[in-house]
Structure 1
Amino acid sequence: MFGAQKDDLPEIWRQLIESWLRNRSCLCESTAYGENLRGSTWCRYGVGDSVGLGVELENRYKGIRTPHKMKFGVSGCTRECSEAQGKDVGIIATEKGWNLYVCGNGGMKPRHADLLAADIDRETLIKYLDRFMMFYIRTADKLTRTAPWLEKPRRRHRLPESGDH
């Protein structure tokens, strides 16, 4: 909402309500939630365009049916204000590129996400994220979030360690 003017608020509210009404029926089975921070556009610590990447990912994955809701977090710096490591997919900008974290969880059984790839460029990040999403969609049981899905023994050995990209 950074940069929005007071005169824009009625239209913003209209779009938010319209979007909510359109998507509420599939909230538990789709990529429904994303959080990105100000990034290099508005934050003095930002080293990556988290807002631009967040919008790109939202447009890329909206409407995709997943076994359970998925939460995304995109941070423009390693201060990680969006709490990306507590999301199903977390992306954090670094001086050398982006770090991709997967299978984090908050709530009753919090779990820090695993680092899937470090210091990768934007194109590679999206390629890895596409592959992760497809693997999760094809192998997870219905209504299983990414953190408990990853903890099943048959999955643990299939995700590469952070240096193996």
Structure 2
Amino acid sequence: MASFVLPHALHGRGSHKVIAVHGWFADRSAFDPVLPDLDQEAFQYALVDLRGYGEARGETGSYTSGEGAADVLALADRLGWDRFSAVGHSMGASVVQRVLAAAPHRVRRLVGISPVPASGLPLPPQQWELFSSAAHVPENRRAIIDLTTGGRRPAAWLDRMVRRSL
């Protein structure tokens, strides 16, 4: 078994297992607002931090959706979950789509919240430059968050998200 274990938090005790994957510039805390609304009697949820985010922020890797899918499947193995549902938000939906492609017999249900397709999304050159440089240019991360939220997030929230991703 690989030495890397995808950081996660378990919620609930139900027999229907669910792995939830956050989107870009987030971590598993992105799901905190919905925790009170989850059925924790019927379901058990594993909320994860992908490599480069949250508790896995310093973890090395290729940081691809394929690697994320392999990490999710390894976590399911570690938890003893032969079959589970998967929820992915934004880029996390790309990861769970790849989980389905790699192990369709293991995925009970798949839910994408504002999903990015696993096949990728072609971007015009100017947008590609913005996204591809975001890992190293805080102003570009801020611009992406502002653009994708319609500028509705307060500046303090944006500053926190940009700092969190550094």
Query: Relative contact order: is structure 1 or structure 2 higher (C-alpha 8 Å, sep ≥ 6)?
Result: 2
Q: Where on the TM-score scale, by shorter chain, does this alignment land: which range?
A: under 0.3
What TM-score, normalized to structure 2?
0.25
